[in-house]
């Protein structure tokens, strides 16, 4: 499965899609990018006159690239977009630097384990200067969509 096929299987759309491109993916990890557009709605109030990307959005970006994209890749042909989903079950993230509108970030994820439908990854986010913005562990489950 190539990067474009993985992106097409993501269950998100704008304005809640936080993946622009995948630079590398294999059974051990993934690397991808996202640039935060200045017109994103959350910048209007976080913080007034000094917009900063909320930590929950940074975490979501790390999860979309580092957990969901990797999960889709690992599932391969088992993942029929309509039947399965990768959902975050836990995370521990340390935030080290702010991310501002128009900043491009690079997310790198390394698989810790994938067994019994649970995926755990060590994930870091860097800015274009190569500085670590945040890092931590994110885990998720592969689940069947039951409400359809």
Which position among 24, 46, 92, 147 bears the catalytic label?
A: 46
Q: How far apart are CA 110 and CA 116, in angstroms?
A: 18
> What's the whole-number mean pLDDT along residues 21-26?
97
User: CATH topology for 3-144?
Assistant: Thiol Ester Dehydrase; Chain A (3.10.129)
Q: Are 121 and 137 in contact (CB under 8 A)?
A: yes
pLDDT above 80 for 128: yes
Q: Where are the domains of the chain?
A: 3-144
Q: How far apart are CA 42 and CA 33, in angstroms?
A: 20
Q: What pLDDT is attached to residue 18? A: 98
Q: What pLDDT is attached to residue 77? A: 67
> What's the whole-number mean pLDDT along residues 137-145?
87
Q: Is 92 a catalytic residue?
A: no
Q: What pLDDT is attached to residue 82? A: 56
State pLDDT tens for residues 53-110: 999 999 999 999 999 999 999 988 665 545 667 888 999 999 999 999 999 999 999 9
Edge to edge, the sheet with strand 132-144 lists 21-26, 29-35, 104-115, 118-127, 132-144, 84-95
What's the half-sphere exposure (Cβ side, CA atoms, 13 Å) at 91? 23
Q: What pLDDT is attached to residue 41? A: 93
Q: How far apart are CA 56 and CA 78, in angstroms?
A: 30
> What's the whole-number mean pLDDT along residues 30-59?
95
pTM above 0.85, yes or no: yes
> What's the whole-number mean pLDDT along residues 131-137?
98
């Amino acid at each position: 499965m190539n990067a474009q096929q993985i992106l097409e299987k993501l269950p998100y759309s704008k304005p809640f899609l936080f993946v622009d491109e995948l630079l590398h993916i294999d059974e051990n990890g993934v690397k991808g990018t996202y640039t935060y557009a200045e017109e994103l709605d959350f910048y209007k109030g976080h913080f007034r006159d000094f917009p900063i990307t909320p930590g929950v959005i940074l975490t979501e970006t790390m999860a979309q690239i580092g957990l969901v994209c990797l999960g889709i890749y690992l599932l391969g042909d088992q993942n029929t977009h309509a039947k399965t989903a990768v959902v975050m079950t836990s995370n521990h993230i340390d935030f080290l630097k702010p991310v501002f509108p128009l900043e491009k970030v690079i997310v790198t994820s390394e698989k810790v384990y994938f067994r019994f439908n649970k995926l755990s990854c060590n994930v870091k986010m860097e800015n274009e200067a190569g500085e670590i913005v945040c890092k931590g562990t994110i885990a998720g489950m592969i689940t069947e969509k039951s409400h359809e």
